[in-house]
Structure 1
Amino acid sequence: MVAGFDGSAQNNAAAYWAAQEADLRAVSLRLIHVQEPSALGHVFGAPDSPDRRSAQHLLVQTADELRRTFPALDISVRSVDGRPIDVLSESAADSDMIVLGSRALGPVMGFVLGSVSMAVIGATNCPVVSVRAKDNASYGDLVVGVDVRQHCEALLRFGFDEAEQRGCGIRFLSAWALPPLVGYGAAYDPRVHAQLEMSAKATLDDVLMPWKKRYPDVRTTAQANVGHAATQLVASGREAGLTVVGRRVRDSSLGTHIGPVAHARCSRTGPGSPP
């Protein structure tokens, strides 16, 4: 498991969350600090510069604190020159998870996804977890957003595996929309609404059935609600130990896009993991 580290409160929280998760999974943890080039000269800081010494001290100090809290955990540290996006993406290539901090904005907005996190999510295949400073590592129930129209094997496998390891339950959410002709004003028909809701719930249950048989000890609930998926996940994820969403990575001339639901989920509440 890999955790990015820069000494900020957000990254300290991410490092602790990663240590607790690595300890639970019985895997090693790598804390990685990346020394960026200077903006003007595009050169890296000297090995004995005050900034470099300070970063290295914080990195070692954090690792020592985590070792005292998790004595059985194998923790290594690495401080390298480079660009965070490149280094973290490369480090995640051989990892089962990468954990990053977020930029907290407060209790209403939650946190925003920075450019580094956005790029790492778009460039890696492993799950990426965003942790904000005010979040404590929690083993409460998971919230998993499911789009029944998309292939979601990896998403469901991650959610059930994580819940089984944590010994917690999963709340599955699937969002659907009313057809325009029955969704507004005088055209609204509550009977049609009820039929569509039953159909959406039945489809979600069919998707989950083989996984529930595979993980009989994981407690699950499932909801198929009308409305916007991102809004529902943001609201439901506030009390969750972890929110799991998928991502659809798309490159464009404006940069990497990870899909509106994953972006909204990772930008407003935490922690979250888009497999």
Structure 2
Amino acid sequence: MLRTITVGLDGSQESRAAAEWAAREAKLRGLPLKIVHVWEPVPEPMAQAPLLGAETQQHWTERIPREAAQGIRLRHPGVEVFTEQVSGYPGDALAEAAKSAELLVLGSRGLGGIGGFMVGSVGLSAVAHTDRPVVLVRALEAAADEHETDPAGIPSAATPFRPVVLGLDVAHPDETLIEFAFDAAQRRATSLHVVHGWNPPPYYAYGTPANPALHEALALSASEAVAEVLRPWRKKFPDVKVVGTSRYGSPAVHVVDASHEASLVVVGRRIRRNPFGAHIGHVTHAVLHHSTAPVAVVPHS
């Protein structure tokens, strides 16, 4: 089955920004773009009301994706665009739509005047319940620079790409996650900034006086570990300029800091098939809520 770049659209500014980001990604990958509009049925008594009748519902459910597709075809010539309408709970419907997608793209609201996302239940559900990469895009954040938008807030398709940022766990490096980040940087003809945060082991951190020499040794070991993980990937992607950094402190804080200069942040989510259900790690969860750039969550084993 031909995979697509799939975007969830509900007509909001956030979902429109996600659709624009998805269209540009589709062009980078040479894939078609599928716009999915999920209609959540209203209770029968409300559906019979004059303003919520069958004709009104049909009008809006058809108009939103149709007009979005028309605009994307004009702004992104050469991208094949088609639409799909489904009914049900949006989180479940979008997770199902992601099964045939190369990646799923969703909009997420910005937190007022401060950086970061307000990731709703639909977005978190889709991230947690799909085995495909999910990208969350803020309105006005699909472009590297907000001033490079039209009056409606639609990012320019010609906006230059800033670096791609990868949050790396050197203790459990995953090939799927690393390859996604390198591939994203290569397609964008930009650099890759690999960020690793480290903390001393508990037996060093507690009950031990400050020791500059020990701190320096631990920092050097962490930097060497980053370099070792990246060595084969530098050879596999020789055209990608890689900057690897290892810093003391919270990995989430360092990745969020790096997001201010990024066009895309890539983090992982470990797939856990257990009775307790899906899980989003604390670092990924923090990055989702505080990154100022679009975030790709890549599930891996």
Partner of residue 129, structure 1: 135
Q: Distance in 1 between matches of 2:48 and 2:193?
A: 46
- CA separation of 1:107 and 1:155: change in aligned 2, threshold 3 A: farther
Deviation at residue 85 of structure 1 after TM alignment: 1.7
Partner of residue 34, structure 2: 30
Q: Distance in 1 between matches of 2:102 and 2:34?
A: 12
Structure 1: any 5+ residue segments left out of the alignment? Answer: none
Secondary structure of 1:266's counterpart equals helix
Partner of residue 225, structure 1: 247
Partner of residue 280, structure 2: 258
Partner of residue 7, structure 1: 11
Partner of residue 119, structure 2: 113
- CA separation of 1:10 and 1:251: change in aligned 2, threshold 3 A: farther
Secondary structure of 1:207's counterpart equals helix
What are the Cα deviations for residues 173-229 of structure 1, in whole angstroms up to 9, with x where unaligned? 111102345547981111111110000000110000000011111000101111111
Counterpart mapping for 1:148-187 below 5 A = 148-180=170-202, 182-183=204-205, 187=209
Partner of residue 207, structure 1: 229
TM-score (norm 2): 0.84
Q: Which moved more, 1:49-58 or 1:233-242?
A: 49-58
Deviation at residue 52 of structure 1 after TM alignment: 3.6
Deviation at residue 255 of structure 1 after TM alignment: 6.2
Deviation at residue 106 of structure 1 after TM alignment: 2.2
Counterpart contact for 1:122–1:258, Cα < 8 Å: yes
Partner of residue 271, structure 1: 294
Q: Distance in 1 between matches of 2:228 and 2:143?
A: 32
Q: Distance in 1 between matches of 2:104 and 2:71?
A: 20
Q: Which moved more, 1:233-242 or 1:254-263?
A: 254-263
Deviation at residue 39 of structure 1 after TM alignment: 5.4
Q: Distance in 2 between matches of 1:240 and 1:38?
A: 40
Q: RMSD between aligned alpha carbons?
A: 2.4
Deviation at residue 48 of structure 1 after TM alignment: 3.6
Counterpart contact for 1:111–1:132, Cα < 8 Å: yes
Deviation at residue 37 of structure 1 after TM alignment: 2.2
Which of 79, 87, 92 lines up with 2:98 in the alignment?
92
Counterpart contact for 2:47–2:53, Cα < 8 Å: no
Give the fraction of aligned pairs with identical amino acids, expressed as a percent.
36
- CA separation of 1:97 and 1:36: change in aligned 2, threshold 3 A: same
Counterpart contact for 2:116–2:288, Cα < 8 Å: no
Figure out how many residues of one structure are paired with residues of the other and give that number: 275
Q: Distance in 2 between matches of 1:186 and 1:206?
A: 29
What are the Cα deviations for residues 215-255 of structure 1, in whole angstroms up to 9, with x where unaligned? 11100010111111111111111221000001124578886
Secondary structure of 2:170's counterpart equals coil
Deviation at residue 78 of structure 1 after TM alignment: 1.2
- For the pair 1:189 / 2:211, whether they are aligned, the reply is yes
Q: Distance in 2 between matches of 1:86 and 1:47?
A: 25
Deviation at residue 123 of structure 1 after TM alignment: 1.4
Q: Distance in 2 between matches of 1:144 and 1:239?
A: 12
Q: Distance in 1 between matches of 2:23 and 2:181?
A: 19
- CA separation of 1:44 and 1:100: change in aligned 2, threshold 3 A: farther
- CA separation of 1:249 and 1:42: change in aligned 2, threshold 3 A: farther
Q: Which runs of 4+ in 1 moved over 4 A?
A: 39-47, 180-186, 249-255
Which of 82, 89, 92 lines up with 1:76 in the alignment?
82
